[in-house]
Amino acid sequence: QGIPYSKAFFFDVYNAEHDLLSPREMAMIERHDMDHSGSCMKELCTWCQIEVAQARRAGHLDSYEAQCIQDRILEFRAAMDGMYDYTDQ
């Protein structure tokens, strides 16, 4: 079983360049084997959905904006699921 993008050569590079996750957040996802499973990606998508919901409740997004962002998150997750399904064959 492989993965479409390795942690070391994809995720870690972008995380270092853009400060996507804090060291604390990185520690929270360490239990997922990012190099052999899509479970980390699914958890990160869930975190994004929670952030959108919190932004909506706080009034930073209207309902239309929140729904559009949630739709994009779900589209991304579905695309990534397809990639992981393909590499698991």
If we measure between CA atoms, which residue out of 9, 47, 55 comes closest to residue 28? 47
Q: How far apart are CA 49 and CA 26, in angstroms?
A: 18
Give the per-residue pLDDT at 86.
Answer: 59
pTM, to two decimals: 0.79
Residue 6 confidence (pLDDT): 80
17/10 Cα distance (integer angstroms): 11
Question: Can you list the residues of the chain whose pLDDT is less than 70?
Answer: 1-4, 85-89
Does residue 4 contact residue 40 with C-beta atoms inside 8 Å?
no
